[in-house]
Structure 1
């Protein structure tokens, strides 16, 4: 279904860039808000994100972004003021909206009318009762209580049922999250997650950041997705102020995005082998990832490529020697990863752990709107680079990778195949790299405006919506990590498995805590 078919009376097309990634903005009433959500669901579209904003007049606006056949539509609907507010619940239409709505309440005090699950999400009981970080009158100066409130996990009753609590602090260098298992013996009947421990107030920090410096903050939302978040932010800003960046910069951005994708897949493939008792896999892939990151440092000046993408283009160019070095490395990585895949496929112990573990059916994946790598491993063929190609992906075509099995083995196979596809893309990008400038210097002194960025990161699609001020400020910047859609699906993938398999299944999803808990 195309966006124009909805007949929004005040539909505004945000500036269009090279490629076929379009975005629209419309202001709607509550009735249209609900009817549109139902129509999007019926048409096979999906909810990308949901967030709230307090406007300068002290009134609230609720926003939702939907993916449809011809791009994104960003809907805004009035939601009252600080004294009386609310908006229609979407969780009955899009179950993935549940936690987003709970986060909106914690940040703004803006509730979803008719929602069943209204438990706190980001507020763990340490905030004052009248404190909402994104309300303009909430200074944050009140005394915070250093205690953790009890969280009402959903209980499971029955003979022999007991609970196992894991986290929020875990072994290893990973972020905090609490997992509550209801089990009989070692068989998992239910898993419920409690996240929000890594909340850092990112969205409020954006309001104190100059528009043309916000990419630095966006790039630090998730260290393993710095390219995806910084590119999405820059795309949103460039659309908002109608700036077209040089072709060479577009191609270099794609080069960095594919290098980020490969680095994370190499790390995950090693960790998945290790979680299944195959330590050699961890050693081999750790070496490959380290070589890959060192090349990033050598060519671009940063192992994880932070601050390489900036509004208007790129902060770093490459020379012919760098191109030659990366092409040589692509040959080596392609060959060595294929050898490792053969070893993984031939290891009966590995395959016994991978096959049939943590099955996420296509039906459950569709129910929650699962995206990215996890969705493609359950037959859900969603990739923004393919479905809504932004420059240069309308020229350098992506060959989509998917698997229908939905288990750990499928998610491992998709990672291997995405490494090969990204290597192919990097070769093409380097071989046909346009000449010319890498940046267009820009200043923003125009009227307030809006823009969106939508990038297929290695976990899934990263979304950024920006509302600018008239003097180069950020009125509101909302960043969305794909883990919002995928965390609830993990709770279903573990059902029927044994508790010791959870680390392996969890790693096969490898979702983001910090990016999820802005």
Structure 2
């Protein structure tokens, strides 16, 4: 994907971002830094804005020249969605967002030494990292009867680590502080200098549940850099993979949501139906997460008539079963009592934080990359984007249920109209230091992958902004005002991913 590109002095970043957003018509989709000192002697701050109304993007590149202070004007005071991006830039590059209201470390924890910035180019794999000692400050909530409840970072289930500190008055949540990034893998650093073909394996493994969405965003970025044409049949098979991934996630997530309130029938049925879909994935590709299917320039394997019959038969059976499960939930007063008006995320908060995907659409924010910025074969398909306005757990549940039905319809269209032709195309040479980005709509929302090419078709800089990244802060808005036993339910309704943060 491309769009307008503006290069500016760093001092004018806030004014330029204000103009680019055009009163909120363009939303902040990503913000990140790049060490370009080997290229032009500068650090750079990139901000990408998107407008679904115009189907367009704007990219601003703010330059910090050699000899200038390593700082930039913070955008957080004028757009809350910038808060995490700027804290991450400060952690990983040592560039200070002047005017940021909360510059506590985000990605780097207390054992990381201050003054060592891992995404600078002079930080190499053999750099010695001494043990750091610092304190992570948590703002206190004071008052009569207020107490704190720490949860995590080690949890009772097989989920990844995250620490939540609740400020409580009785069972009512007053405030929640979330501390994440406990198992950051440094993927963006690890792929520097690698050929695109090798880095694809890292992109495919950022997150198991979003494997197709991440891989597709990565390969589309490389293909944009190369100005490559992907065969029509391959584009359709990519959509098939993406919708199969969305479907098993939504069905499984509905079961997981039932686990948040101990509704055993919903848990069991959700797990059963998800397992049927993942076994279908394995029959089609040899991998339950559909890995290995999407490659640079197309796809690695075709589907046969027998496979098409298998898909249709499996989804036909699942359609009736899934409708029965949803009927079980929609007609259960005790279940509805727990999900209605629980974990409210107001529409304005969703807009201000840049929330994406199911969480946004459940709060009345009508956005979907497949429709607004169509890619692969989506531009030739017909589907609806369900939007609810109540912003509660129930709305996030119903959005998933409706989207699962739409995914089945999309898969049906793909199988009925699958064109013939090649599965892959050759990629033309890629110019060094050219840039591009790709976006896909995962089960959780939009993913954005950005690349700057190095020499000889290698990676100079890779940026991954997963759907969970802008959505995690929304949890701290939705939880207060509820009782603490409802937090697992609220948390599961957002279905946030730890791995997508710890990339």
2:110 matches 1:130: no
Give the CA deviation at 1:447.
4.1
Q: Tell me if structure 2 keeps the 8 A contact 1:386–1:397.
A: no
What are the residue-to-residue correspondences of 1:44-443 with 2, within 5 Å?
44-55=25-36, 56=38, 57-68=40-51, 69-81=54-66, 84-139=69-124, 141=126, 143-145=128-130, 149-442=134-427
Distance 2:123 2:69 in 1: 17
Spell out, residue by residue over 1:243-299, the C-alpha distance to the aligned partner (whole angstroms, 9 max, x if none): 111011111111111111111111111111122121111111111111101111111
Q: Which residue of 1 aligns with 2:16?
A: 36
Give the CA deviation at 1:38.
1.6
SS of the equivalent of 1:255 reads helix
SS of the equivalent of 1:102 reads helix
Distance 2:34 2:346 in 1: 35
- Check 1:332–1:394 CA distance in 2 against 1; reply closer, same or farther (3 A cut): same
Spell out, residue by residue over 1:6-60, the C-alpha distance to the aligned partner (whole angstroms, 9 max, x if none): xxxxxxxxxxxxxxx6534332223553223223151422111111110115421
SS of the equivalent of 1:495 reads coil
Q: Which residue of 2 aligns with 1:26?
A: 6
Distance 1:148 1:440 in 2: 52
SS of the equivalent of 1:379 reads coil
Distance 1:345 1:400 in 2: 20
Give the CA deviation at 1:517.
2.9
Distance 2:439 2:57 in 1: 9
Q: Which residue of 2 aligns with 1:9?
A: none
Q: Which residue of 2 aligns with 1:6?
A: none
Q: Tell me if structure 2 keeps the 8 A contact 1:212–1:472.
A: no
Distance 2:343 2:142 in 1: 23
Give the CA deviation at 1:82.
8.2
TM-score, normalised to structure 2's length?
0.95
Q: Tell me if structure 2 keeps the 8 A contact 1:464–1:477.
A: yes
Q: Which moved more, 1:123-132 or 1:112-121?
A: 123-132
- Check 1:516–1:41 CA distance in 2 against 1; reply closer, same or farther (3 A cut): farther
Distance 2:181 2:88 in 1: 9
Distance 1:157 1:37 in 2: 37
2:482 matches 1:497: yes
- Check 1:335–1:41 CA distance in 2 against 1; reply closer, same or farther (3 A cut): farther
TM-score, normalised to structure 1's length?
0.93
Distance 1:144 1:136 in 2: 15
Q: Tell me if structure 2 keeps the 8 A contact 1:27–1:76.
A: yes
SS of the equivalent of 1:433 reads coil
Give the CA deviation at 1:474.
0.6
Q: Which moved more, 1:389-398 or 1:504-513?
A: 389-398
Q: Which moved more, 1:330-339 or 1:39-48?
A: 39-48
Q: Tell me if structure 1 keeps the 8 A contact 2:87–2:105.
A: yes
Cα RMSD between the aligned structures?
1.7
Spell out, residue by residue over 1:352-376, the C-alpha distance to the aligned partner (whole angstroms, 9 max, x if none): 1111110111121122121110000
Give the CA deviation at 1:91.
0.6
- Check 1:418–1:87 CA distance in 2 against 1; reply closer, same or farther (3 A cut): same
Give the CA deviation at 1:398.
2.5
Spell out, residue by residue over 1:41-83, the C-alpha distance to the aligned partner (whole angstroms, 9 max, x if none): 5142211111111011542111111112232222211124488
Q: Tell me if structure 2 keeps the 8 A contact 1:131–1:140.
A: no
Distance 2:2 2:301 in 1: 27
Q: Tell me if structure 2 keeps the 8 A contact 1:210–1:473.
A: yes
Give the CA deviation at 1:444.
3.2
Give the CA deviation at 1:141.
4.0
Give the CA deviation at 1:145.
4.8
Give the CA deviation at 1:143.
4.8
Give the CA deviation at 1:391.
3.0
- Check 1:381–1:240 CA distance in 2 against 1; reply closer, same or farther (3 A cut): same
Q: Tell me if structure 2 keeps the 8 A contact 1:181–1:190.
A: yes
Distance 2:352 2:58 in 1: 20
Aligned length: 498
Give the CA deviation at 1:146.
5.2
SS of the equivalent of 1:123 reads coil
Structure 1: gaps (5+ residues): 1-20
Spell out, residue by residue over 1:293-345, the C-alpha distance to the aligned partner (whole angstroms, 9 max, x if none): 11111112211011211110111211111111111112111111111000011
Q: Tell me if structure 1 keeps the 8 A contact 2:281–2:290.
A: yes
Q: Which moved more, 1:203-212 or 1:241-250?
A: 203-212
- Check 1:148–1:293 CA distance in 2 against 1; reply closer, same or farther (3 A cut): farther
